[in-house]
C-alpha cells in the first residue's frame, strides 16, 4: 500500500467562522448594553457630584454659623467704602470672614482688611483656589482664578448709591424699589418715607446685605439669629450659583469680591418694575422668568444672580438651623419668597403681606 499517497488525500479539519448575520446580531446586543449602561453610569456620576456639592455647601454653612456664633451676628455679604474718595472701593466678601472656619487661617491672617480686595497686596490671596468654595458640577471652575459656586440669601435685592443717595434699595436688575407704595423711591431720609419705610420692608425680605466697612456714611444692616422671627429652619441661608465665578469672556471677579451679583442670590421682584401698589403684588413672580431657579444657566458669569446649578430639577440649599436639602426649581413663588424672608410676619398689614 502506498502510505504517502493515502496521507496526501487525508481531509484537513476546518473551523467554521461567524456569519455576517451573527456578527450584526452580536454588535447590536453590545450596542444595546452600552446604551443601557452609559446613562446609568452618567446618572451615578451626577448623583455623586451633587452629593459632593451638597457636602461642600454644608461645610460652608457650618463655617457661616460658627462665624455668626462668634460675632453674635450674621456677616455682611459684601463690605464697601462709603463712596467718598478717601474710602472708595470694594473691600471684601463674606468668604473672607469665614476663612478661619474653613481651615484657611493662613490666607485670613495675611489679608489686609484696610485695603480693597483689588489691592496688589490682597489680589494674590484672592486668586487662590479653595476647593470647598466650588461645586464639582461647576464646569466654569478654572484653578488659580479664585472661583466660587455658592451664594447667600439676599432677598429681593441689594443696596447701592443712586442719584447721590446712599443705602438705596434696588432689585436684582438695579431698579429702585417703592415697597410701601407711597410713590417715594430712594429717599435720603428713612423717617420721611413713611412707616414702615422702603428700607424697613427691604430688610424684612432677605438675610444678608451690603455694609460699609470704612467711611462716614454708615450702612450697617444685619441680622442676628434672634432676629429671625420666622424660624431658622424656615429661612434660607445659602444656595448655589454656577454663574458667579470666573469667565474669560465676560466681566470677572473672584471669591473675595463684594459685588452683589457675585455674593448673593435674589428672588424675583413681586412688584412690576419695583413699584408696589394695591393689586400690583404677585409673589408668583418670585420664581419666574429670568429670576427663576436654573433660568440663568446660559448667562455669562456675574449676570444671573439667582440660584443656578447643573443638577437636574433644582439646586442645593442650606437653612439657618444648619439643615440642607434640595430646592426644586418648580417651587411655588409664594413659598420661595417666604423661605427667603427671615421676618415675613413683619410684612403683615403692608402691601407685601402674603
DSSP string, 94-140: HHHHHGGGGT-HHHHHH--TTS-TTSTTTHHHHTS--GGGS-TT-TT
> Within 13 Å, how many C-alpha atoms sit on residue 170's CB side?
17
Residues 94-153 have pLDDT tens digits of 999 999 999 999 999 999 999 999 899 999 999 999 999 999 999 888 888 899 999 999
pTM score: 0.86
Backbone angles phi, psi at 218, to 5 degrees: -95, 140
As a whole number of angstroms, the distance between CA 331 and CA 158 comes to 23
Let me know: does 176 contact 169? Beta carbons within 8 Å: yes
- pLDDT (tens, 9 = 90+) of the chain, 354 residues, equals 454 444 545 555 555 567 887 777 778 888 777 777 766 666 666 778 789 999 999 999 999 999 999 999 999 999 998 766 666 688 999 999 999 999 999 999 999 999 999 899 999 999 999 999 999 999 888 888 899 999 999 999 999 888 888 889 999 999 999 999 999 998 877 667 888 999 999 999 999 999 988 766 566 789 999 999 999 999 999 999 999 977 666 666 899 999 999 999 999 999 999 999 999 999 999 999 999 999 999 998 899 999 999 999 999 999 999 999 999 999 999 999 999 999 998 999 999 998
As a whole number of angstroms, the distance between CA 191 and CA 262 comes to 31
Give the pLDDT of residue 246: 76
Task: Retrieve residue 156's grid coordinates.
Answer: 429681593
As a whole number of angstroms, the distance between CA 274 and CA 270 comes to 8
Let me know: does 222 contact 209? Beta carbons within 8 Å: yes
Question: How is residue 269 annotated by DSSP?
Answer: P
Amino acid at each position: 500500500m502506498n502510505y504517502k499517497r493515502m496521507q496526501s488525500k487525508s481531509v484537513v479539519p476546518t473551523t467554521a467562522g461567524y456569519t455576517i448575520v451573527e456578527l450584526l446580531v452580536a454588535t447590536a446586543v453590545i450596542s444595546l448594553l452600552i446604551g443601557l449602561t452609559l446613562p446609568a453610569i452618567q446618572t451615578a456620576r451626577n448623583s455623586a457630584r451633587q452629593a459632593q456639592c451638597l457636602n461642600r455647601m454644608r461645610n460652608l454653612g457650618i463655617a457661616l454659623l460658627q462665624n455668626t456664633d462668634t460675632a453674635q451676628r450674621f456677616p455682611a455679604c459684601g463690605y464697601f467704602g462709603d463712596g467718598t474718595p478717601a474710602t472708595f472701593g470694594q473691600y471684601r466678601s463674606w468668604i473672607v470672614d469665614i476663612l478661619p472656619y474653613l481651615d484657611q487661617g493662613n490666607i485670613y491672617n495675611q489679608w489686609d482688611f484696610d485695603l480693597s480686595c483689588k489691592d496688589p497686596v490682597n489680589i494674590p490671596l484672592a486668586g487662590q483656589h479653595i476647593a470647598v468654595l466650588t461645586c464639582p458640577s461647576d464646569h466654569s471652575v478654572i484653578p488659580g482664578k479664585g472661583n466660587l459656586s455658592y451664594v447667600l440669601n439676599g432677598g429681593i435685592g441689594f443696596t447701592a448709591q443712586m442719584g447721590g443717595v446712599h443705602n438705596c434699595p434696588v432689585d436684582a436688575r438695579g431698579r429702585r424699589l417703592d415697597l410701601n407704595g407711597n410713590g417715594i423711591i430712594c429717599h435720603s431720609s428713612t423717617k420721611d418715607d413713611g412707616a414702615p419705610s422702603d428700607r424697613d420692608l427691604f430688610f424684612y425680605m432677605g438675610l444678608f446685605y451690603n455694609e460699609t466697612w470704612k467711611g462716614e456714611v454708615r450702612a450697617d444692616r444685619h441680622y442676628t439669629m434672634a432676629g429671625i422671627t420666622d424660624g431658622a429652619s424656615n429661612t434660607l441661608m445659602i444656595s448655589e450659583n454656577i454663574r458667579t465665578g470666573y469667565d474669560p469672556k465676560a466681566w470677572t471677579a473672584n471669591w473675595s469680591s463684594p459685588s452683589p451679583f457675585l455674593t448673593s442670590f435674589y428672588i424675583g421682584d413681586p412688584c412690576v418694575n419695583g413699584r408696589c401698589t394695591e393689586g400690583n403684588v404677585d409673589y408668583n413672580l418670585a420664581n419666574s422668568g429670568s429670576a427663576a431657579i436654573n433660568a440663568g444657566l446660559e448667562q455669562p458669569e456675574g449676570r444671573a444672580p439667582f440660584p443656578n446649578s447643573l443638577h437636574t430639577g433644582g439646586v442645593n440649599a442650606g437653612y439657618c438651623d444648619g439643615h440642607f436639602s434640595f430646592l426644586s426649581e418648580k417651587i411655588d413663588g409664594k413659598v420661595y419668597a417666604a423661605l427667603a424672608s427671615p421676618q415675613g410676619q413683619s410684612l403683615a398689614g403692608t402691601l407685601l403681606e402674603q
